[in-house]
Structure 1
């Protein structure tokens, strides 16, 4: 994802509409749209704009995509697309279930840190893809990112210096974000993460030890 700037969720929606996201990131956005319909009008707007722009443009090189996206952002809004309901007993949205081939209760979690579990799907389309589980009240040690990390909250919620992320929300983090996410106390936080580079720990040794044993 290094060549596709994803500074905001709006930018992510535009790139989804333009069809220039890696497959795991596309699935993440599609799942978000299943869970929260608020961004569907924007996506419909961007998709219509992409169609109009591509009809009028000569073929463009990959490094010219930002010109297309600038025009996409300027398009007029359209009505929201119809959202089909998910099965009542399914925690994962259909896009995630189809992509991963499993439901939440089928995940073979592996303990990575106290109160933090992960299941990696490996490297897909240039991205590291995984599910994560964070115990209620547990903190992930302070870190930043050497590239982009997209996280979709599938259940529960977490907080960091940017605010609160609840079920269906997307967190977009990069090297400009130094954060210390904490799961809320009511229930575990379960999420789907897509990244193109490793994270980098930034907290002090004392803080790191406190987070690991706290």
Structure 2
């Protein structure tokens, strides 16, 4: 079985090679701006020329996404030398530039008790949203119709695969059925990039699917 560390390493390698969709690129760049050890790993890959990985042509963006292109032009997420810990807010710099605000200005929408989200939108075949979940809240048991990447920005949660705190990336797909539980000391705030909607599988799933699915 592939370990979480190996999966993150593979994701970083794809990021350096330029093969990720734009939302996943931003998520990994934000992760690198929060994690010193992985910034060093990404820097090593860049110095080695991406270990021979080929680059893809630049991602074409629509007019409404021109601001996102400027984020990529100005970002240096590899070794993190221009990033460091975010000092003016919770979000790492590239995420703040991507969405246009920090956590204090997120236009949250309540999806169910103790669960808020902001739908950033659909870009490059991926859906992006920010979420806020109250301390101690358990998300109903679910699986996924495709790959989901979750970056924890504050707080922490636990599921069948372990604990995820600030800067950690959680992976889930159709092979993973889990029930994330938020730790009790603070809310969990995160960024999710998904290729397909989640599918509720627990006893409350059928009752809540309309609420969560919007």
TM-score, scaled to structure 2: 0.77
Whether 2:105 is the aligned partner of 1:91: answer no
Post-superposition shift, 1:51? 5.1
Higher alpha-carbon Rg: 1
Q: What count of residue pairs does the alignment treat as equivalent?
A: 182
**Alignment match, 2:60:** none
For residues 40-55 of structure 1, what are the structure 2 equivalents within 5 Å?
A: 40-50=39-49, 53=52
Q: Is the 8 A contact 2:148 2:194 kept in 1?
A: yes
**Alignment match, 2:11:** 12
**Alignment match, 1:134:** 133
Q: Is the 8 A contact 1:32 1:169 kept in 2?
A: yes
**Alignment match, 1:25:** 24
Runs of 4+ in 1 over 2 A off after TM superposition: 44-54, 80-89, 204-209
Q: Is the 8 A contact 1:153 1:192 kept in 2?
A: yes
Change (3 A) 1:159 1:103: same
Post-superposition shift, 1:205? 3.7
Change (3 A) 1:202 1:52: closer
Q: How many angstroms apart in 1 are the aligned matches of 2:205 and 2:30?
A: 38
**Alignment match, 1:182:** 181
Q: Is the 8 A contact 1:110 1:118 kept in 2?
A: yes
Gaps of 5+ in 2: 1-5, 57-78
Report the more deviating stretch, 195-204 or 7-16. 7-16
**Alignment match, 2:164:** 165
**Alignment match, 1:200:** 199
For residues 90-169 of structure 1, what are the structure 2 equivalents within 5 Å?
A: 90-169=89-168
Q: Is the 8 A contact 1:151 1:194 kept in 2?
A: yes
Post-superposition shift, 1:42? 2.3
Q: How many angstroms apart in 2 are the aligned matches of 1:12 and 1:208?
A: 35
TM-score, scaled to structure 1: 0.77
Gaps of 5+ in 1: 1-6, 61-79
